[in-house]
Structure 1
Amino acid sequence: MAAIYPVARAVEHAAGLAGVQPLRVFAVLWPLWQVEITARVEDPAEYELLDSFVTRAVGQAGLDTAAAVAGFLGLGERTVRGCVQYLMTVGHLTADGERLELTPRGLRSMHDGRRYESKEVRQQLLFDRYTAGPFPRSHYANAVTVLDRPEPSLDGVRGSRFTALFASTAFRPEIVDALVRRPDRTGYNVPAEIDRPRVDGVRDAWLPAYLVRTGQGLLAYTAASDGRDAFVEGLCRQAPEVTSALPDTPPEDAERRWEAWLRKEHGGGTLRRQPNGVWRGTLPASAFAAGNRRLASYVVHDELFLQLWCDDRALRRTAMRDRALRIAQSRDVDSRAALDRRLGDLGRQYEVEPSTVDDLRAHAGRTGQEDLLARLEALPATS
């Protein structure tokens, strides 16, 4: 699996935002600490039937000896004593001579209907190296890759070289203690019930990200989100050294560079700058004769980007429908409502009337793409 999606996807999203003027895009490796801790947690499990009966006999019926519990349940005293011994071992019962009493853990287990046991676990935590703050649970998802080396080239990510950002902050163990005391710690990958955390190891790590410089500030994109990464954007605002390290204006020769690129790749074309500041290279319909996948897409070179365009409205409409059918196959699109939102975005990107599901169904039939219909038909109305 690629460490992050292609940079053009981030550019496409940024360019489609109302009132935003994208200027440059930077492929970066955001510096983290990957901290491994060991701690005790209250681990819930299903009650064994006998354990539950004995617990309730003590806690609800008020029976305080093994003999009384055995008589109440109609079981052999030896069987009940074995269960009592186990419940004492896992910290649910205490005994003063023959007298039994539930511990706080035993009372909680009885009330919740779950058998809690103290268990040692190992946990990995991610901290930002600029602010020393924790990363949220969203950045621990399987889709998010955290690197242990600042590699400029990433597997599965073509056309981008990643630059590692530098943070001089030193790690302090107190930031782990502060995190585990927070009432909202579960939102940062820390179990709700945690005791005696111990830091076992700390290593540098890096999160692949795209930062889009705009006239309004930095937009951040990572694999933790389908769109903008609001958390990393917040870190950018708290770390002025990140903003100052990235050029804030396009190079003066940007127009000349794109004119040269159009001549080299397509034998020429018409270069115009759009109201949002994005360059657009307009090509004849014949330039897309071999396929329309690149129409309305973005080319990224040297932190600059260009949208490939064609004035043929019918061709743009066909290209939009083809792309919409491909998008419908994505795991990110899990309902008709989600697809409708993407169709609206595509209509604005291709500057044509947005498609509907019925429109896509008819287009698939006309163009021999019936194999893409199964996923389309299977989408529920809402997620």
Structure 2
Amino acid sequence: MSTRIGPPLPPEERALDDVAWGQGLRPSRIFSVLLPVWQVEVRATVTDGRPYHVIDRFLERGIAEGGLSSVPELARFFALDEPLVDRAVRFLARIGHVAVRDGGLVLTGLGLESQRDGVCYVVSREDRRKMYFDAFTSRPFGRAYYDTGSVTFLTAEKVGAITAARSYPRFLQLISVHGFRREALGELAGRADRDRYNLPFRIEQPESLGEEIVYLPLHLVRAADARGGTRYLAYGQVSRSADPELSDLCQSVPEIVGLLESETLSIQPGRHEQRITEWLDGKGLHGIRPVETERGAWRVTLPPSAFQPAGRVSPARIGSFVPLATGLLAVWCEDERTREEAFLSRVDSVLTAHGRDPRHDPGPTIERIGRQLHLSARTAEQARELALHLGRNPLAARLTELIAKG
């Protein structure tokens, strides 16, 4: 059986960089976890909806508010051709909005509700669908988590296979002892923002036909805020940034916080420094000593020769972190030219990753990379000038094209 987890999680380094440089927090650990989720098969009576066609809405208003009860009357009032009005009325009758009563046209209950809400509801039907709720508080997941091309929920069997596969990093399996709170279905059906949670316009009498625990892969970053308080931020498959709702969940559930804090406290004194030394030795960097800062973080300053292509360390590590099983290691290089080359390489990667997507503005990312590397280059224009200065002409041309597009 395949042990692939589906769409990958973002790299740990990306999550750590977002915490440090996007959120302004001090990361100290990163955990790869499997969050338990209730997968609930729900049966309900649903009413679909869509925006009104202009003529349909006005014809219904003419019937409901103007007392117009026939096709000729509607056609004369709105100055429309009778055949056009007749086709529209037949359509409205077919979807359950218009009926004939005492020889005249009237709106049905569904038609009146549609007019009231400004939504063209379609005749109710029975519906079955799978829905997802966290296994601690029965909080529903948003629509983005129903995209099977982006998100994978793992069965217990798949989790067992992944746990046994040596090719995967260790996942910490979170456990919940809470049952599914079935009142959550009725609460969700009553929300005005149902569409945000993958529900139709109206849902009535929802009931659970069965519940199964599945697991959602996440990165959880432990970090400290400006006051020294501990925060947990969740990074998953649907976004490059932290998920605020899942972060709030993981921050507020004592079982999750307690397990992660115990994992942190279980590291024996001196073990993290030893693990850093092992990492340095593995990169051929013998004799370089890491330094513990006054805030308890660990940092190592490496010479330019330590970085690729001459060395074994990726330049992408500069100003970023190495995630180790015992904690994090911040990597730095004092040589400005090395940092400038790293800056341009990262800008190049950002432009390549997003291609010609007009929705993406690389400006904030370029600014953040410049801050991260303590460089004066913070804009696309400054990056272009630096690329020209260092002979990175293809990158300079791409930046020129980006700037021209505004």
**TM norm structure 2:** 0.77
Distance in 1 between the 2:222 and 2:322 partners? Answer: 16
Alignment of 1:40 with 2:68, yes or no, is no
Paired residues of 2:49 and 2:119 also in contact (CA < 8 A): no
Picking from 84, 87, 106, the partner of 2:92 is 87
For residue 231 of structure 1, the aligned residue among 245, 249, 270 is: 245
User: Could you say which residue in structure 2 is the equivalent of 1:63?
Assistant: 68
- Partner residue of 1:193 out of 199, 202, 205: 202
| SS in structure 2 of the partner of residue 270 of structure 1 | coil
Structure 1 residue 212, shift from structure 2 partner: 2.1
- Alignment match, 1:180: 189
In the alignment, structure 1 residue 377 sits paired with structure 2 residue 404? no
Q: Does 1:262 align with 2:257?
A: no
Residues 146-225 of structure 1: matches in 2 within 5 Å? 146-148=153-155, 149-150=158-159, 153=162, 160-215=169-224, 216-217=229-230, 218-225=232-239
> Deviation of residue 370 (structure 1)?
1.4
* Aligned residues of 2:272 and 2:326 also touching (Cα < 8 A): no
After superposition, the C-alpha distances for 1:15-40 in whole angstroms (9 at most, x for unaligned) are 44787443322100111112233431
Judge which range, 112-121 or 183-192, deviates more: 112-121
Give distance in 1, aligned partners of 2:152 and 2:400.
Answer: 30
Check the 8 A contact 2:285/2:306 in 1, yes or no. no
Deviation at 1:202, TM superposition (A): 2.7
Match of 1:329 in 2: 352
Give the aligned residue type for 1:128. D
Q: Which moved more, 1:349-358 or 1:117-126?
A: 117-126
Residue type of the alignment partner of 2:135: R
Q: CA deviation at 1:265?
A: 2.0
1:359 to 369, 376, 382: 382
Instruction: Report whether the alignment pairs 1:312 with 2:335.
Output: yes
Partner of 2:102: 97
31-40 vs 295-304, which moves further: 295-304
Structure-2 residue corresponding to 1:248: 264
Structure 1 SS opposite 2:242: coil
Q: Which residue of 2 aligns with 1:272?
A: 291
Q: Is the 8 A contact 2:36 2:213 kept in 1?
A: yes
CA contact (8 A) 1:91 1:105 kept: yes
Q: How far apart are the structure 1 equivalents of 2:321 and 2:151?
A: 24
Stretch moving more, 223-232 or 67-76: 67-76
> How far 1:221 sits from its partner (Å)?
2.1
Q: Which amino acid aligns with 2:206?
A: P
Q: Look up the match of 1:282.
A: 301
Report the Cα offset of residue 41 of structure 1: 1.7
Secondary structure class of the residue paired with 1:226: coil
C-alpha separation between the residues in 1 aligned to 2:241 and 2:355?
Answer: 11
Q: Determine helix, strand or coil for the equivalent of 1:24.
A: strand
Deviation of 1:245 after TM superposition, in Å, equals: 1.0
State the AA in 1 paired with 2:301. Answer: T
CA shift for structure 1 position 65: 4.1
Alpha carbons 1:44, 1:116 under 8 Å: kept: yes
Q: What amino acid maps onto 2:264 in structure 1?
A: D
Aligned residues: 376
| Contact 1:288-1:295 within 8 A present in 2 as well | no
For residue 344 of structure 1, what is the aligned residue in structure 2? 367
Contact 2:189/2:202, CA 8 A, preserved across alignment: no
User: For residues 267-311 of structure 1, what are the alpha-carbon distances to aligned partners after superposition, in whole Å with 9 as ceiling and x for unaligned?
Assistant: 322312244433223322112240634433432232522233322
Q: Deviations over 1:313-335 (max 9, x none)?
A: 22112211221222233449978
* 3-state SS in 1 of match to 2:264: coil
Shift of 1:240: 0.5
Matched, 1:127 2:133: yes
Distance verdict in 2 for CA 1:315–1:335, change over 3 Å:
farther
State how far apart, in whole Å, the 2-side matches of 1:96 and 1:260 are.
Answer: 85
Alpha-carbon shift at residue 203 of structure 1 (Å):
2.4
Question: Do 2:99 and 2:108's aligned partners in 1 also have CA atoms closer than 8 Å?
Answer: yes
Unaligned runs of 5+ in 2: 1-5
Q: Deviations over 1:211-244 (max 9, x none)?
A: 2223532232223343222212211233111111
Question: For the residues of structure 1 that align with 2:377 and 2:401, how far apart are their CA atoms?
Answer: 19
| C-alpha spacing 1:351/1:194, structure 2 compared with 1 (3 Å) | same
Q: Distance in 1 between matches of 2:361 and 2:297?
A: 27
Gaps of 5+ in 1: none
Q: Any conservation in 2 of the 1:325–1:372 contact (CA below 8 Å)? A: no
Give the direction of change, closer, same or farther, for the CA distance of 1:299–1:181 in structure 2 (3 Å limit): same
Contact 1:280 1:306 in 2 (8 A): yes
Q: CA RMSD in A?
A: 3.8
State the 1:126 CA deviation. Answer: 1.8
